[in-house]
């Protein structure tokens, strides 16, 4: 039926179109994908934990039994109300099941599917973009501009003003994953409860010593070619509750940063100048490490590393039970490549 912007999800929930039988939420921002899926499911069923009106299915389960999707969607709730069929890891199994179901869909149940990144050539994405009874909701990682808006809107929701320097510092600290951002902002709001505004000191007290700085340490170890340190920090961060997927995503973001800095360094003829003038700014204590990385990684090497990480991210979604092993293997591979690049230049 249409491609729905993520910012339009609330409007869809408030005034759902009965002609829509299924919604596909996809993209690189797993936090935003899950956030919008939860909103839509709650809007349909009223409660995420309702055993009668919320049915959770996996892509693997539908791959084993494609008919189950139609059976669940066409079942009538024992307690009344609409049913939500919530599908995680949507892929080939879901595509086969939903393609058959949409031909005969005649109930008020709503299928809500979470998927990862889908290329334009994806058959699943094409189905949802072209069908008259579906919606596709792409979720892209927050840019610094959209992160600025997310912070402002969240603080306004908590009835808190935020000082400009505190706002800027949050944009530096927070990553592009929406779920992590929401969690950090909620923690900050609780810390500032009873105050009128959020100061830079508040941000540094609550978020300045977060795992984000340790993630930077791990990322820098990977791209400096220090495999031992990278593995050690990966283990510590994982034990501390940081998901392997998030670590992969942060490494992928760093690659994008290095690519931009590499182009700037080529234009200016000086890596140090490129790093020191980077926007958003790089924390001054980290700048020497990033400058060294630019001497190790050429653009073609970064493109190969980007492919390695995107493949690993896709594999973690396909095999979530192996997420830590897949992530550690990919990051260790990059660290060894960096080590080889460094030795070749010495």
- Asked whether residue 335 falls in the same domain as residue 224, the answer is yes
Residue 6 in this model has a pLDDT that exceeds 70: no
- Asked whether residue 87 falls in the same domain as residue 159, the answer is no
Phi, psi of 188 (to 5 degrees): -65, -40
Alpha-carbon span 338 to 35, nearest angstrom: 36
- Asked whether residue 194 falls in the same domain as residue 130, the answer is no
- Asked whether residue 284 falls in the same domain as residue 170, the answer is no
pLDDT score of 211: 45
- Asked if 58 contacts 87 with a C-beta cutoff of 8 angstroms, the reply is yes
* DSSP track, 140-175: PPPPHHHHHHHHHHHHHHTT-EE-HHHHHHHHHH--
pLDDT score of 137: 92
Alpha-carbon span 343 to 224, nearest angstrom: 11
Looking up residue 121, the CATH number of its domain turns out to be 3.40.50.300
Mean pLDDT lowest among 63-72, 207-216, 233-242, 330-339: 207-216
pLDDT score of 282: 82
Number of domains composing the chain = 3
Q: Where are the beta strands (DSSP E) in the chain?
A: 2-3, 22-26, 54-58, 84-88, 110-114, 134-138, 161-162, 197-198
- Asked whether residue 299 falls in the same domain as residue 218, the answer is yes
What is the domain range of residue 158? 144-206
Average pLDDT over residues 308-332: 93
- Asked whether residue 314 falls in the same domain as residue 193, the answer is no
Calculate what percentage of the chain has a pLDDT beyond 70.
94
Residue 36 in this model has a pLDDT that exceeds 70: yes
pLDDT tier at 213 (50, 70, 90 boundaries)?
A: very low
* Mean pLDDT over the full length of the chain: 87
Ranked by mean pLDDT, the top range of 162-176, 234-248, 265-279 is 265-279
Cβ neighbours for 7, distance < 8 A, ≥ 6 positions apart: none
The two tokens of residue 107 are: 């109930």
pLDDT score of 143: 63
- Choose the final residue of a domain: 158, 179, 206: 206
- Asked whether residue 202 falls in the same domain as residue 228, the answer is no
Cβ neighbours for 227, distance < 8 A, ≥ 6 positions apart: 221, 332, 335, 336, 339
Average pLDDT over residues 228-236: 89
pLDDT tier at 142 (50, 70, 90 boundaries)?
A: low
Alpha-carbon span 311 to 66, nearest angstrom: 26
pLDDT tier at 98 (50, 70, 90 boundaries)?
A: very high
- Asked whether residue 249 falls in the same domain as residue 324, the answer is yes
Average pLDDT over residues 70-85: 88
Mean pLDDT lowest among 6-15, 87-96, 329-338: 6-15
pLDDT score of 210: 45
Order of strands, edge to edge, in the sheet holding 54-58? Answer: 2-3, 134-138, 22-26, 110-114, 84-88, 54-58
- Asked whether residue 8 falls in the same domain as residue 119, the answer is yes
Helix, strand, coil shares, percent, the chain, to 5: 65, 10, 30
- Asked whether residue 17 falls in the same domain as residue 126, the answer is yes
- Asked whether residue 221 falls in the same domain as residue 331, the answer is yes
- Choose the final residue of a domain: 90, 117, 138: 138
Calculate what percentage of the chain has a pLDDT beyond 90.
47
- Asked whether residue 169 falls in the same domain as residue 107, the answer is no
- Choose the final residue of a domain: 167, 190, 206: 206
Residue 175 in this model has a pLDDT that exceeds 70: no
- The answer, as to whether pTM is greater than 0.85, is no
Looking up residue 251, the CATH number of its domain turns out to be 1.20.272.10
Looking up residue 190, the CATH number of its domain turns out to be 1.10.8.60
């Amino acid at each position: 039926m249409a491609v729905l912007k993520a910012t339009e999800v609330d409007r869809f929930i408030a005034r759902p179109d009965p002609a829509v039988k299924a919604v596909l939420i996809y993209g690189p921002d797993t936090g935003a994908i899950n956030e919008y899926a939860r909103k839509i499911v709650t809007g349909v069923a009223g409660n995420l934990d309702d055993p009668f009106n919320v049915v959770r299915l996996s892509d693997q389960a539908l791959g084993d039994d494609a008919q189950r999707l139609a059976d669940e969607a066409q079942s009538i709730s024992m307690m009344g109300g609409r049913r939500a069929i919530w599908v995680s890891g949507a892929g080939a199994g879901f595509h086969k099941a939903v393609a058959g179901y949409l031909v005969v869909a005649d109930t008020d149940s709503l299928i809500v599917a979470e998927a990862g990144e889908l290329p334009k050539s994806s058959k699943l994405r094409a189905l949802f973009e072209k069908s008259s009874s579906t919606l596709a909701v792409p979720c892209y990682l927050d840019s610094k501009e959209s992160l600025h808006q997310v912070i402002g809107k969240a603080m306004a929701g908590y009835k808190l003003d935020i000082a400009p320097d505190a706002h800027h510092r949050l944009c530096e600290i927070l990553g592009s994953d929406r779920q992590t951002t929401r969690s950090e902002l909620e923690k900050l709001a609780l810390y500032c409860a009873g105050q009128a505004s959020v100061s830079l000191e508040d941000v540094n007290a609550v978020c300045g010593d977060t795992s984000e700085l340790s993630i930077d340490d791990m990322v820098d170890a990977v791209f400096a070619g220090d495999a031992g340190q990278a593995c050690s920090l990966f283990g510590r961060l994982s034990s501390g509750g940081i998901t392997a997927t998030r670590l992969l995503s942060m490494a992928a973001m760093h690659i994008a940063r290095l690519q931009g800095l590499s182009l700037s360094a080529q234009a200016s003829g000086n890596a140090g100048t490129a790093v020191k003038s980077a926007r958003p700014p790089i924390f001054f204590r980290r700048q020497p490490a990033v400058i060294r990385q630019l001497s190790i990684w050429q653009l073609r090497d970064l493109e190969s590393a980007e492919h390695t990480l995107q493949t690993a991210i896709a594999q973690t979604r396909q095999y979530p039970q192996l997420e830590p092993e897949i992530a550690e293997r990919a990051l260790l591979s990059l660290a060894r490549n960096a080590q080889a690049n460094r030795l070749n230049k010495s």
